Structure 1
Amino acid sequence: MSSSVVLAAKNITAGYGGHPAISDITVELRANEVLTLIGHNGAGKSTLLKCLFGLLESESGIVAVDGEDVTGQNARQISDRGVALVPEGRGIFPSLPVRDIFSLGMHASGVPKKEQADRIGWVLEILPAISEFMNRPAGNLSGGQQQMVSIGRALLNRPRILLMDEPSIGLAPKLFQDLLAPIRALQQREKLSILLVEQNVREALKISDRAVVMKSGSMIWEGEPAELEDNERLMELY
């Protein structure tokens, strides 16, 4: 695993309506690693991801991609730098067939038409189950299938950096395990960097290289996943 930093928040403070949700957060995602960010609801995890992806402007601090300051850039500009987001709640269009959702996603991110079929083929290699429901409206799919579509849409950009916000929401534990395995395999094969925000701590830590714990808008711990195998230690941090 490389120690070079591909995405960083430096002393970020951000919130909504003048009320900070995160305060003075500094966190670094390194090349070719899975970093899991854990903490209770309201800890500020999703707010941090929104800042990193250009969906929320921070009040202070710096966001950097590959060491370059990108603070204030919007989501399209961040995406053009090889960053993709799988949003909480999936964010798919329920009335549209999966094929159209993929086409819209590629059009929005400027994937050349001649490359689009290859991109879809590549995603279906990673998540082959999607091929079974490519022509079905997303609203008719199960939670697990919708989550696959959301991940697939993010991967169509062939990102180097993938931000995933609570992918286990609404999924049975076994379904979440089945989803994580190909994501970890993809990460290792393509040397992706993944920042995973997750409530299902045990499963997330199994595929992680490092972990960060947030509480009440602050970062309170950073270390190796093995250090959190002790339930008492985990409860202390929570």
Structure 2
Amino acid sequence: MKPAVDKALGRLRASGPAPSPAGLVPAIAVAGLSAGYGGRPVLSDLSLSVPESEVLCLIGHNGAGKSTLLKLLFGLHPPTGGTIRLRGTELVPHPSAMAAAGIAYVPEGRGVFPGLTVKENFRLALWSAGLKGGEAAARTEEVLVILPRIKEFWTKRAGQLSGGQQQMVSIGRALLSRPSILLLDEPSIGLAPKLFQDLMAPIRALQQQRGMTILLVEQNVGEAFAISDSVVVMKSGQVIERGVPADFADHARLMELF
């Protein structure tokens, strides 16, 4: 791990436990954030805060920069400007440091290893997190209680599963680390609304039980709003509106924002 990342992570660990939901320090805060690809800007001077212990749904047109933002927050793409703070501590994100700090990321497109069985996908995630023995078994059982349908295809190769089953495996694998912050990128892709509800309902229940923070990027706004505490609308790399789900109940107005 790079020295700068080690130092930032050390400051983060020294900062103590996360504040209560009523606290003033957000789980994640970015200010003046800019990024792009090959000289083409995607995010431009973006500022955003994600409250502790809430589900924030990030919506916007294709290309608005939503997925890019999640990649920046997990350290998968470098910003060209601005700052990122994790519970008040400024740092340069790096995947290993963010994972160690309790952040899990589920990418768009599920990201399972298709040639491995579901059990092997879980074992790989546990190994990566440094979990073994009784602790690994306990974490596995914990996830299988939250998402019990995974047991039905436990020994099947992930590449043979349906889209909904793969998404369940991908999210379950992320939950093995007991994250305090979960970054979810388009979990409903390829899923019928009912399947999306069945997938997200236990995640919402777990979030409320543990006080987990979730940043959810989603195009299926109706279903996503049902499990969200707040909503942020992005357009052309910037935040243009923020509110609670009820503020966006007018479908016509919502489409104008896109």
Q: TM-score, normalised by structure 1?
A: 0.97
Shift of the alpha carbon at 1:112? 4.0
| Residue identity opposite 1:94 in structure 2 | P
Within 5 Å, give how 1:105-116 maps onto structure 2.
105-116=125-136
Match of 2:123 among 75, 78, 103: 103
| Residue identity opposite 1:36 in structure 2 | C
Counterpart position of 1:38: 59
Distance 1:211 1:113 in 2: 40
| Residue identity opposite 1:236 in structure 2 | E
| Residue identity opposite 1:108 in structure 2 | S
| Residue identity opposite 2:126 in structure 1 | M
Shift of the alpha carbon at 1:40? 1.2
Counterpart position of 1:156: 176
The SS at the match of 1:24 is: strand
Match of 1:61 among 82, 102, 105: 82
| Residue identity opposite 2:53 in structure 1 | N
State whether structure 2 residue 28 is matched by structure 1 residue 28. no
Within 5 Å, give how 1:64-213 maps onto structure 2.
64-71=85-92, 73-213=93-233
| Residue identity opposite 1:203 in structure 2 | E
Distance 1:10 1:176 in 2: 32
Shift of the alpha carbon at 1:224? 1.1
Shift of the alpha carbon at 1:107? 1.1
Distance 1:25 1:187 in 2: 26
Per-residue CA distance 1:46-105 (angstroms, 9 max, x = gap) = 00000011111100011111111122x311111110000011000111110011101111
Shift of the alpha carbon at 1:160? 0.2
State whether structure 2 residue 69 is matched by structure 1 residue 48. yes
Unaligned runs of 5+ in 2: 1-20
**104-113 or 128-137: which moved more?**
104-113
What's the C-alpha RMSD, in Å, of the aligned pairs?
A: 1.1
| Residue identity opposite 1:65 in structure 2 | L
Distance 1:9 1:154 in 2: 23
| Residue identity opposite 1:21 in structure 2 | V
Give the % identical residues: 56
Distance 2:65 2:33 in 1: 11
Corresponding pairs, count: 237
Counterpart position of 2:235: 215
Distance 1:6 1:147 in 2: 25
**Structure 1 ranges of 4+ moved more than 6 A:** none
Shift of the alpha carbon at 1:111? 2.2
Residues 95, 139 of structure 1: 8 Å contact kept: yes
Shift of the alpha carbon at 1:114? 3.4
| Residue identity opposite 2:130 in structure 1 | G
Counterpart position of 2:5: none
Per-residue CA distance 1:100-119 (angstroms, 9 max, x = gap) = 10111111122244310000
Per-residue CA distance 1:115-141 (angstroms, 9 max, x = gap) = 100000110111010111111100111
Distance 2:155 2:148 in 1: 14
